[in-house]
Amino acid sequence: MVSGSNTRNWQTATAASELRHASAMLHNVSQLTPLRWTRLVFSIFVFYAAALRSVLALHRTPPTDRLFTASFREMVNPGKKINLGTVVPESSGSFPYSSVQDRRENGSKNDTACSETFCEVSLLKCGLKFFDANFFNDSKVREMVKGATEFNIPIFKANRKLVASVNGGLHDPSVLVFNSEWGDETKPHGPKRFHYPSLSSIQRPDKEEDIAFMSILELGQLIRTKKITSQELTRIFLKRLKRYNRALEAVVCYTEDLALKQAKKADDFLDQGIYLGPLHGIPYGLKDIISVPQYKTTWGSKTFQNQVLNIEAWVYKRLRSAGAVLVAKLVTGSLAYDDIWFGGRTRNPWNIEEYSTGSSAGPAASTSAEVKAQIMITGLVPFAIGSETAGSISYPAARCGVTALRPTFGTVGRTGVMSISESLDKLGPFCRSATDCAIVLDTIRGKDPDDLSSRDIFLEDPFLIDITKLTVGYLEDAEMEVVRVLASKGVNMVPFKLNYTVDSVQGILNFTMDVDMLAHFDEWQRSGQDDAYEAQEQWPLELRRARMIPAVDYVQAQRARGKLIREIRESFNVDAFIGNATDWEKVCLGNLVGMPVIVVPTGFSNISNPPSGATRRRTTITTGIYAPPDHDHIALALAMAYQSVTNHHKQRPPIDNLGPNDSIPNPSTVIDNLGPNDSIPNPPTVTYPHRRLHP
């Protein structure tokens, strides 16, 4: 332990030495030797730094500021060893001087206070340039220092104590509520339920794999007619999950006990003549940011991998009341970012050589949804619930060739779900078809009393929409097969372009998402838990940058967002439009506006750098059908019309048979022969860049 008196003497002696060193350099420069003129500027800075060090020696400022002086010495005398002395421990955070009288030994109290103010003003003026606010004079900066110390910081601390001691944004939501409704139509209040098509003569397939790839309506008909029980169906999907998870790394935990209990209850209800609807007895999976009591909700992070939340998420309660059976909590990237989680990385079922990263743009939380897409396309559950803040539904659905709906913002309640951004987060279904998406959406939509952003959105019945009365635009990047098919079905297809002047769309989304995320994980960052995060270039880097976004500029970003919404609304002169679902500008724009999009598989292409010889691995091709907010039914109706005459959405990935000449071991062989501690050989070689940052 270093005493206050010794600390003061050490600091004063060090500062005096630095002053002598700087003065000597200035004296040498004054001899007008031509080569020394080049060091003049650096010497002046060193002199100033030493003077500043002298002042700080009288106060509690830590000795790390000596690095400032040392850096200038290195510039003036490159290669010369710099002795920084012994660092004084400051873990206690206590004042290093024994008394006020001890401080006065080196100068008068007034001089000390004046010097301290000078230092604070100088340091703050340097810092303000990082906020693009270095236009204040010294007098104004002194006022800012006083106001921050006496007013701001106490309020910061009080508010954090009230609402920020628990991570994840599960409690105390912001009262600043985003409403995506355009308000240009008079609509009935309350949700109008859909009328699903009835199926008849559905027979139970002989093979379990064929059962696993049936649609929700087909499985529901088998259960309703008692050709299969919910308990049988649940065991089939649990078995497939356990078999393929060895290769895909897609499951955080199995909810087997709960699933069998819920399945038995569904069968008992049927025996009593009670049928709860098309999801009665249907197994499904939840993204692991959605809370279910008694089971882990890890958020994909090693920091929270043992977390059990005694919260029933609103969406889980909706599905349970509809008779659906939860079989697994599915992987999310760590804190819903990218494809890295505490258990490893997931794979693309259409090309097992690739990691299942969401896209080349790497938007927040893409892998978590990617896992839902993997699970869907490999027939491991009939449907799954994912989320999107910035591409986490649209990107993975496109990558894995799955039909998925990102609904209008506010359609599905988010109570009990880890929050990234309260004005961007959305929950939506991953399914085998647009029809299945409509069924799941109809079940989970509605007003959540604890989610201020959720609404009872009136949607027309997508099964009753007359698409021949619709005018649908198509962008330059639209898949023209979709355009031709819809035109053949009587839809008025016209060229279209979104017109808007806001040129910072991507930056607005980054500001909004990162600042909101930091508010929900403030304690996580302050306590240093971000140091244990699985990928330091992801959330840790982004949230440190977000700490430097002033409140005024966050508000300016929301004002720019409002301008964007108004311009999109004015240019949206069609009923819907077709366009690329993974273009980063459109992903950002769609999420900022809150508009729905359904991702539709439209075909396949060969993988890049295929092996010599035959391989069944493929790259999926998809497109997006976009609609205005509160018009999800139009996007669904158009997608159902397209899928009624195509079969891209019915294809199965080659995870059991890559091809006779493919150099990668067939996953089926790998799965069957893995030991308890083995991993898949030949790890994926394809990687993708992280989220792009934009000014």
Place of tokens 């979709």: 482
Q: What is the pLDDT of residue 333?
A: 84
What end-to-end distance do the CA atoms of the chain give, in Å?
48
- Highest mean pLDDT range out of 108-112, 133-137, 314-318, 621-625? 314-318
How many domains, in total, are found in the chain? 2
C-alpha closest to that of 455 among 191, 113, 162:
191
Give the C-alpha distances (Å, rounded to integers) separating 641 from 180, 379, 433. Answer: 27, 23, 11
Amino acid identity, position 348: N
Residue 594's DSSP bridge partners are none
Dist CA 667 CA 672 (whole Å): 8
Tens of pLDDT, residues 508-543: 999 999 999 999 999 999 999 999 998 888 899 999
- Active site (annotated) includes residue 366: no
- pLDDT tens readout for residues 159-216: 999 999 999 999 998 989 999 999 766 666 666 889 999 888 899 999 999 999 999 9
Q: What is the pLDDT of residue 606?
A: 80
3-state secondary structure of 421: coil
Q: DSSP E strands: which ranges in 313-406?
A: 325-330, 340-341, 344-345, 347-348, 351-355, 384-388, 403-406
Phi, psi for 352 (deg, rounded to 5): -60, -15
User: Does residue 277 lie within any of the structural domains?
Assistant: yes
Residues 402 and 262 in one domain: yes
Asked if the structure places residue 591 within a domain, the reply is: no
Residue among 519, 509, 524 at smallest CA distance from 693: 509
State the Cα–Cα distance between residues 127 and 495, nearest whole angstrom: 50
Residues 337 and 447 in one domain: yes
SS3 label, residue 107: coil
* The two structure tokens encoding residue 146: 């006083």
- Indicate if 450 and 536 belong to the same structural domain: no
Q: Rounded to 5 degrees, what are φ and ψ at 437?
A: -60, -40
pLDDT at 644 over 80: yes
Separation in Å, CA 680 to CA 244, 342, 665: 11, 17, 9
pTM of the model: 0.79
Domain extent, residue 243, equals 208-460
Least confident of 65-79, 238-252, 381-395, 475-489: 65-79
Could you tell me if 450 and 531 lie in one domain?
Answer: no
CA dist 467 and 546 (Å) reads 45
Task: Give the model's pLDDT for residue 15.
Answer: 47
Candidates 387, 392, 423, 453; catalytic one: 392
Q: Which amino acid is at 283?
A: P
**Does one domain contain both 236 and 131?**
no
Mean pLDDT taken over the chain: 80
Q: Is residue 397 part of a domain?
A: yes
Give the lowest-confidence range in 327-341, 423-437, 439-453: 327-341
Q: Give yes or no: 359 in active site.
A: yes
pLDDT of residue 189: 65
Residue 621, helix vs strand vs coil: strand
Burial class, 643, CB count within 10 angstroms (exposed 0-12 / middle 13-18 / buried 19+): buried
**pLDDT at residue number 315:** 98
Res. 372 pLDDT band, cuts 50 70 90: low
Predicted pLDDT at 362 = 24
CA 560, 561, 562, 568 torsion-angle sign:
positive
Look at residue 470 and tell me if it is in a domain: no
Q: Does a structural domain hold residue 339?
A: yes
pLDDT reported for residue 678: 38
Residues near 142 by beta carbon (within 8 Å), at least 6 away in sequence: 117, 120, 121
Radius of gyration of the chain (CA): 31
Is there a single domain that holds both residue 409 and residue 297?
Answer: yes
Whole-number pLDDT of residue 605: 80
Both 510 and 453 in a single domain?
Answer: no
* 253 and 323 part of one domain: yes
Report the 10 Å Cβ neighbour count for 616: 16
DSSP type of residue 329: E
Interval 238-243 mean pLDDT: 92
Q: What confidence score (pLDDT) does residue 192 get?
A: 80
Q: Is the pLDDT of residue 507 over 80?
A: yes
Q: What is the dihedral of CA 286, 290, 296, 297, to 10 degrees?
A: 130
317 inside domain: yes
> Which residue from 436, 386, 376 is spatially nearest to 412, judged by alpha carbons?
386
Average pLDDT estimate for 46-72? 47
Task: Work out the average pLDDT over 429-457.
Answer: 96
| Residue 450, domain CATH | 3.90.1300.10
Does residue 97 carry a pLDDT above 50? no
Q: What is the pLDDT of residue 127?
A: 86
What pLDDT was estimated at residue 185? 65
Q: Is residue 540 part of a domain?
A: yes
Q: Which of 287, 329, 372, 586 is catalytic?
A: 287
Q: Which amino acid does the sequence have at 208?
A: E
Q: Which of 515, 541, 570 is the last residue of a domain?
A: 570
- Shared domain for 384 and 530, answered yes or no, is no
| 269 and 132 fall within a common domain | no
What is the reported pLDDT for 81? Answer: 47
pLDDT score for 691: 45
361 and 252 share one domain = yes
* H/E element, 301: none
Work out the burial of residue 204: count CB atoms within 10 Å of its CB; fewer than 13 is exposed, 13-18 middle, 19 or more buried: middle
DSSP structure class, residue 150: I
Q: Which residue has the higher pLDDT, 640 or 68?
A: 640
pLDDT band at 465; cut points 50, 70, 90: very high
pLDDT-based confidence at residue 87 (cuts at 50, 70, 90): very low
Q: What is the pLDDT of residues 539-572, one digit of tens each?
A: 999 999 999 999 999 999 999 999 999 999 999 9
Q: Which one of 548, 570, 592 terminates a domain?
A: 570
pLDDT in tens, 11-38: 444 545 554 554 555 455 445 454 554 4
* Spatial distance between the Cα atoms of 393 and 180, rounded to a whole number of angstroms: 18
**287 noted as active-site residue:** yes
- Which entry of 359, 368, 394, 453 is annotated as an active-site residue? 359
Say if residue 520 is in the same domain as residue 455.
no
Q: Is residue 408 part of a domain?
A: yes
Domain boundary among 545, 570, 595: 570
Q: For 142, which DSSP code?
A: H
**Length of the chain in residues, anyone?**
695
